[in-house]
A and B are shown apart, each in its own frame.
Chain A
């Protein structure tokens, strides 16, 4: 029997179901809203950029809290992504670089 498949923490389940609800609200929200009102261009410009901002924030936090292995891994991943546009390849090689640095130093 697989361990943890039926193990749930109450706070975690609340967080997960909350994520599910707000995510559904964003997916249905655009269709639903348009049935009644048009999305104002201002709100649209705001909403277009929030996702990018959150992603940037997480990268900045990872860099500021990270060790040299994290920096090298991320730099490698970003470099490969810019060159090849293959995210899984970029991330895998970045991971290998970080694992290697942590193993040897």
Chain B
């Protein structure tokens, strides 16, 4: 936010911006395909129908949240509230991301901004923020990132689901390791420095305690909240350093 000019020029929403955003997103778009395929296959492995898997990728369009709820999907009856709460906790970071992007496009009406924000991903956000920090304050860029990722994610899910629609043995084909592996590797990729250490230790402790002593799926909620509280307490100095 340091790079915000003193007197910002009004932001724009142009076709050229959309094309620019699409161009910047192309490499991410390609790398999202195998994850879409994997999600489709894993979703069927835990018991979603192909239609449900495709519906989820279309409406939620949130990779890590979608993989997260698969860990809950095998429970009977389906823990609907836990699933929705998990999606919220995994995606709560979007609130911070949107708030960080807002100052660059605050001159645009919300009726333009909010529909475009519906497709904001981590990669799309990072691409857009970088372009805007470089002076290109065009909401079209964010829309371009959406256009390049949404169809790929939904299409990948559909193909992955249809390939495995005959029914797969989750353990035999290592799909449980696939689901857990998505998280284990994203934790590695998410590590940003020592500010993350205490929140993660808190999450491990809270989760282990919840798994041992609480029934059901409270561990996910407790892990997220423990990390949030630890972040609240321990990352105070980051604010001044930044």
Contact = CB atoms under 8 A, between A and B. Distances in A.
Contacts, number: 327
Chain A interface size range: 35 or more
A contact patch SS: helix
Interface stretch (B5-13, B16-24, B129-137, B172-180): B172-180
A77 B211 contact: no
B98 A58 contact: no
Given A7-B49, A47-B228, A60-B223, A78 B174 contact: no
Contacts of A33: 95, 98-99
- Interface range for B: 35 or more
Contacts of B95: 26, 29-30, 33, 39, 47
B100 A30 contact: yes
A3 B164 CA distance: 11
Interface string A42-74: 101111111111111111111111100110011
B34, B50, B178, B223, most chain A CB atoms within 10 A? B223
Contact of A95 (B177, B230, B238): B177
Interface of B: 31, 34-35, 38, 44, 48-52, 54-56, 59-62, 64-66, 68-69, 71, 77-78, 80, 83-84, 86-103, 106, 110, 113-114, 117-120, 162, 165, 171-174, 176-190, 196, 199-200, 202-204, 206-208, 211, 219-220, 222-232, 235-236, 238-239
